[in-house]
Every structure is written in structure tokens, then in C-alpha cells.
Amino acid sequence: MNLVKTVALLGILSALLVTVSYWLIGGTTGATIGLLLAAIMNLGSWFFSDKIALAAYNAQPVSQAEAPGIYEIVERLCDRARLPMPAVYIIPTASANAFATGRDPHHAAVAVTEGIMRILPEDELEGVIAHELSHIKNRDTFTQAVAATIAGGISWLTQIASYSMWFGGGSRNDNRANPVVMLLTIMLAPVAASIVQMAISRTREFAADAGAGNLTGNPRALAQALQRLEQNARQMPLNANPAFAPLLIINGFSGRMMANLFSTHPSTEARIEKLLQLEQKLLG
């Protein structure tokens, strides 16, 4: 069911890109350009999603000799999950976070911050890594990268249109002659794209949490890690392009009512509750 929902949301996001192109570029030509942009972005995400995400967070590749502790955890969990070993990256920041990326399990990477390695004990760090490997196994990493790329494209188009509208003297295309439609598109399209992108992310987080709990056999450790990470994220958020925020294991706004409405993740409280319910089932 989650897969069907995710595919439907990606379809909506691509359709939104075509619609924005129709109104901002103009008519059939604009819609055609939108379709081409969607195809190019999806193809680009297929081949370059890992490189784009890693560059966005300045993640640096490390060898087993450079980070033996992380490598040991990743190797152990990959053997248990029957996954190929992903590339391992470290993000040079005191903020505590992690993410996975890549188009499939054979072309994947796991990135952790220096901060997360400092504040989490080994069992909790194992839970976080298991969460990221679950994303890889479920191919969520590619799905989220496509969503981020399309949402970013919509934001770029509306920004260019905004500059053109205010500083370019208006459009010569009859299909774009209505300034009210253009203004509404410029204002609402990025918001709509972000909401759909966030919904895609939320459909994947609970499944990755459950996958991690089953993989480690210790859902409580991940629940405790999420608690620590939320507190850290409020004090030291991992700043980068907001389009890639859904990749992170946690954001800095979970649990606040208004922020949760527009969050890339379910509330931390809800995630912890489900993990503790899973613990009871495993014990049970």
C-alpha cells in the first residue's frame, strides 16, 4: 500500500511540474517542456542522486581504516540484511544526523555526521544505521531523490518566472497573459510541491523504523536514538538545501503542531510509540 501511495505521489509531483511549465512558460510548448524536464530530472536522479545528495551535505568518503567502528556496524548489518556493502561517508559537522542515498542497493551510500558518532552509544548508532539500510533495501533513497529533484525544479521555474514577472516587463505569450494566474502559480506551486514531497517522505519513515527494529532486534535503541537526535537537531540543525531534508533520519521541528503539519518526517513521538509497540511484539 505504501508503494502504491508513493508512486501516486510521484505522479502528482511530475504532473505539477508539467502544469507549472504550462502556465509559466506557455501553453502546449510549456507543457512539453515540462514533460521533458520531468523526464530529464528523473533520469538525472537515477544516475546522479547519490552524488547530488552527498555534495549537498559535503559528505566525505572514508575507508575502513579511517572509520573502523562505522564500517564494522555497517558490515554486520548488511550481512544480516543480505545487502551489498554501501559506500560509507562522514559529514564534517557537530550536528547529529545521518542519511542514505543511491539509486539501488548496488549503488548506495550511507552518510553519518561526526556529531552522531560522538553522542550515540553503539547500540543506538546501530539502530540508526539499520534505519538507513532499510531505506536502501526498500529503494526509498531513489524515490526521495527523484521527489527532491522535481520539487527543486518546480521551485527553480517559479523563481525564474517571478524575476521575469517583476523585472522583465511581462510576457509576450498569450497563454501567460493573465498575471493573476501567474502570480498564484508562482506562490502556490512550490508550496504544493513541498507538501507532496513531504508526504512521500512520511510514507517511508515508519517502514524504515520498523525495518531497523526487526533487523537489530532492538527497537528501543532506535527509539532512544531518535530522542537524542531530536534534541540535538533543535540546537544544531544540519543546514543544507531544504530539498534534501527528507533524506535525513530526523529534522529539527518534529513534535511541534504547526511544524509537524509541514514536516518531512512523522513526529518523533509517533515514531517512538510505534517502535515500542514493535518491541512488545518481538518480546511477545
**Cα separations (Å) of 198 from 143, 193, 213, 219, 221?**
12, 9, 23, 24, 26
Three cell numbers, residue 221: 535503541
Residue 115 and residue 284: Cα distance in Å, rounded?
A: 35
91 pairs with which residues across the strands?
Answer: 113
Helix (H, G, I), strand (E, B) or coil at 161: helix
Residue 176 and residue 20: Cα distance in Å, rounded?
A: 11
Helix (H, G, I), strand (E, B) or coil at 284: coil
What DSSP element (H or E) covers 119? helix 114-119
Other Cβ atoms less than 10 A from the Cβ of 184: the count is 12
Task: Compute φ and ψ for 267, nearest 5 degrees.
Answer: -60, 145
108 pairs with which residues across the strands?
Answer: 102
Residue 278 and residue 187: Cα distance in Å, rounded?
A: 42
Task: Compute φ and ψ for 103, nearest 5 degrees.
Answer: -80, -20
Residue 185 and residue 158: Cα distance in Å, rounded?
A: 8
Which residues are designated catalytic?
132
Sheet with 87-91, strands from edge to edge, namely 60-61, 87-91, 107-113, 98-104
Q: Are strands 60-61 and 107-113 parallel, antiparallel or unpaired?
A: unpaired
Task: Compute φ and ψ for 159, nearest 5 degrees.
Answer: -65, -45
